[in-house]
């Protein structure tokens, strides 16, 4: 076994690897960029090495710097985690050329599966079923359009490199093919440096079911059963589970045998995942699944497999990479119970899942699992850490296990309702709504479920009078939950002739709220609210809440209602953005400008494309008008930056 390894990653997965390595007595070296100098994974590791500025291209994607750090610290092997360089065969070559061990498959195996078109041709030869489509090398638009007509609409255009839904477009009609192809190519080029695509049949009711495989250098390959990752938004996974709901013995046998066959076809060693698309329009059948791609690394969702098989896949990775045989044979691997993983992100679900930033002023996960269940939290952040625009905005993975699917699903809902995060917009309410969705609860899930139910799943009810009153009580400094005592609080309970009262102002969205907080003789507080609430409530103490600079967040179930608390001494400098301008909804890069200064545009017309987290977001005109100013291509903008300004006559 290795004495010391370097982890070429950050955040949650780096912390995950460190925990297993520590249990096994293996020392760890973390790497970090400028933005991560004080990160959780840096503090957890035995040693740490700085590898460059915050942008990934200057740090976490610099294989030369990572290899140099491993050599300088005396590490014997490098664990890539997932993302970044984990599936880069050139990096594997760098590692091995330096005399180090890459904790993962060979460069040859990665290259064999690295490009979707070549991988599918290889799988066809190996007898693994693949989705009907065009997987060839030629990329002329005339040829691709011709192949699209042969395949039939609707269809999918997919980047041949990478994954995560980047460079993917669903096309319903031939007239939309050219525009969709251009968008897919741009996104693929930005994300993977490769704009080549493949074109495939669109499956009517697709399920995304994947099989965990593991191989060693002795030619042994096993599977650890399947995971269902069909709950996706924008082609990215949201809640994963194991085993797949509704799985039949016949389909499981066919799918796991195909997965093992695929891994053996490339002499695979290490952890890998074979992803299949399954046509569930007529139930799960053994002849209705097709190979999509292989992820030649550990998956984000690997904890659900660990929970239902009682394994530690990171430990398996270390053992296999150090030259040992697989810890278990196929007959020794059994399924037990059911597990879910929910990905908690800093994102605004109500605004199309736009990534968010901010400081995690309050971060609290459930202390214990619900009765009859087990739970684990995989995270790489702590209270006070910042969610930056440089990296994936994942905050944590909440993983639960129960004796069956229903008990595990109930545990997931309870655990999400007990999670408290303040300081950034997060998706916990959306996750809880999805867990409670009737179709999802019944296991009737496919990749289009979230899209069909998106409005209901992302809708957040307005705060009740009780929630607003609780926020006002906390903002006033009164009540047992207040973190500091001010001069008013020192007089709580005393009044010479009548109850003392203090005025408190709050802001929720666009609403200004005025509240009057007074102390009653019995120790309770009365909170009188102005319109639109027009109510008075008696409170003894505030419920679950967090106070952070200039704000109060009140938690109700999985929803966190955040109220701004204006500084009464600050000048009220109101800067009206109004409808005369369009602002960036998130930090990003102006990828493409499709209008010009002085041009007259109509409502709904696309004006520019903003790229954030390697995904493209179209900014369209909100009304008819004439453009007075527009951002330039290549501009890096922050949240709230004015992208388009309309001439005054647009409203008059």
The residues annotated with a catalytic role in the active site are 297
- The phi-psi region of residue 133 (left if phi > 0; otherwise alpha if psi is between -120 and 50; otherwise beta) is left
Distance spanning both ends of the chain, measured CA to CA: 75
Q: For the chain, what is the largest distance between any 2 Cα atoms, rounded to a whole number of angstroms? A: 91
Q: Give the sign of the dihedral formed by CA 427, CA 637, CA 508, CA 456.
A: negative
Report the 3 state secondary structure along 299-326.
CCCHHHHHHHHCCCHHHHHHHHHCCCCC
Picking from 422, 429, 341, 416, the residue whose alpha carbon sits closest to that of residue 378 is 341
Angle between helices 428-436 and 449-458 (to 10 degrees): 120
> What is the SS3 assignment for 441-465?
HCCCCCCCHHHHHHHHHHCCCCCCH
In angstroms, the CA 194 to CA 167 distance is 10
Cα dihedral 286, 287, 289, 291, rounded to 10, equals 110
Task: Tell me the Ramachandran region of residue 65: left when phi exceeds 0, alpha when psi lies from -120 to 50, beta otherwise.
Answer: alpha
Length of the chain: 652
CA–CA–CA angle 461, 462, 464 (5° rounding): 110
CA distance 484 to 551: 14
CB neighbours (10 Å) of residue 132?
A: 14
- Rama region for 455: left / alpha / beta (φ>0; ψ in -120 to 50; rest): alpha
Distance CA 104, CA 102 (A): 6
């Amino acid at each position: 076994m290795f004495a010391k390894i370097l982890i070429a990653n950050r955040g949650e997965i780096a912390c995950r690897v460190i925990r297993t390595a520590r249990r096994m007595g293996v020392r760890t070296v973390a790497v970090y960029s400028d933005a991560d100098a004080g990160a959780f994974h840096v503090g957890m590791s035995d040693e740490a090495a700085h590898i460059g500025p915050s942008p990934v291209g200057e740090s976490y994607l610099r294989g030369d710097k990572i290899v140099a750090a491993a050599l300088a610290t005396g590490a014997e092997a490098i664990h890539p985690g997932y993302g970044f360089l984990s599936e880069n065969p050139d990096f594997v070559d760098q590692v091995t050329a330096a005399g180090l061990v890459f904790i993962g498959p060979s460069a040859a195996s990665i290259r064999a599966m690295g490009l979707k078109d070549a991988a599918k041709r290889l799988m066809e030869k190996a007898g693994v079923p693949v989705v009907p489509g065009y997987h060839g090398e030629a990329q002329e638009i005339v040829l691709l359009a011709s192949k699209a007509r042969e395949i039939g609409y609707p269809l999918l255009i997919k980047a041949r490199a990478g994954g995560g839904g980047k460079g993917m477009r669903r096309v319903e009609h031939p007239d939309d093919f050219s525009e969709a192809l251009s968008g897919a190519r741009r996104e693929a080029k930005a994300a993977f440096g490769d704009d080549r695509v493949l074109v495939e049949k669109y499956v009517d009711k697709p399920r995304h079911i994947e099989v965990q495989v593991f191989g060693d250098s002795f030619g042994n390959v096993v599977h650890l059963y399947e995971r269902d990752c069909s709950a996706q938004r924008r082609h990215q996974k949201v809640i994963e589970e194991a085993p797949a709901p509704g799985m039949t013995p016949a389909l499981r046998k066919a799918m796991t045998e195909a997965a093992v066959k695929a891994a053996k076809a490339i002499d695979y060693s290490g952890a890998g995942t074979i992803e299949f698309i399954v046509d569930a329009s007529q139930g799960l059948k053994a002849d209705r699944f097709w190979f999509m791609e292989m992820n030649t690394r550990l998956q984000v969702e690997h904890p659900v497999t660990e929970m239902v098989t009682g394994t530690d896949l990171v430990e398996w990775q270390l053992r296999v990479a150090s030259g040992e045989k697989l810890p278990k044979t196929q007959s020794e691997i059994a399924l037990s119970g059911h597990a879910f993983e929910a990905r908690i992100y800093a994102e605004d679900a109500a605004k199309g899942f736009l990534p968010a930033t901010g400081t995690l002023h309050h971060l609290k996960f459930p202390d214990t699992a619900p009765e009859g269940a087990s739970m684990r939290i995989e995270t790489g952040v702590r209270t006070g850490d910042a969610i930056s625009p440089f990296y994936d905005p994942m905050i944590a993975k909440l993983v639960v296990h129960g004796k069956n699917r229903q008990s595990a699903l109930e545990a997931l809902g309870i655990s999400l309702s007990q999670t408290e995060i303040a300081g950034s917009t997060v998706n916990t309410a959306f996750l809880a709504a999805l867990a409670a969705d009737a179709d999802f609860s019944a296991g009737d899930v496919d990749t289009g479920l979230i899209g069909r139910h998106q409005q209901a799943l992302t809708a957040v009810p307005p705060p009740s009078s009780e929630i607003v009153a609780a926020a006002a009580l906390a903002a006033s400094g009164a009540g047992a939950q207040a973190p500091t005592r001010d001069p008013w609080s020192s007089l709580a309970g005393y009044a010479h002739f009548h109850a003392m009262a203090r005025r408190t102002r709050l802001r929720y969205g666009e609403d200004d709220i005025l509240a009057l907080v007074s102390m009653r003789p019995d120790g309770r507080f009365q909170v009188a609210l102005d319109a639109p609430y027009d109510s008075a409530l008696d409170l003894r103490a505030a419920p679950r809440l967090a106070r952070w600079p200039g704000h109060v967040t009140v938690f109700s179930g999985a929803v966190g209602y955040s109220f701004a608390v204006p500084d009464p001494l600050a000048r009220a400098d109101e800067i009206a953005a109004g409808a005369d301008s369009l602002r960036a909804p998130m930090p990003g890069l102006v990828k493409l400008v499709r209008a010009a200064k002085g041009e007259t545009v109509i409502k709904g017309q696309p004006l520019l494309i903003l790229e954030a987290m390697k995904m493209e977001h179209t900014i369209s005109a909100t009304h008819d008008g004439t453009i007075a100013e527009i951002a330039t291509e290549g501009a890096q903008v922050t949240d709230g930056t004015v992208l388009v300004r309309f001439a005054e006559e647009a409203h008059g």
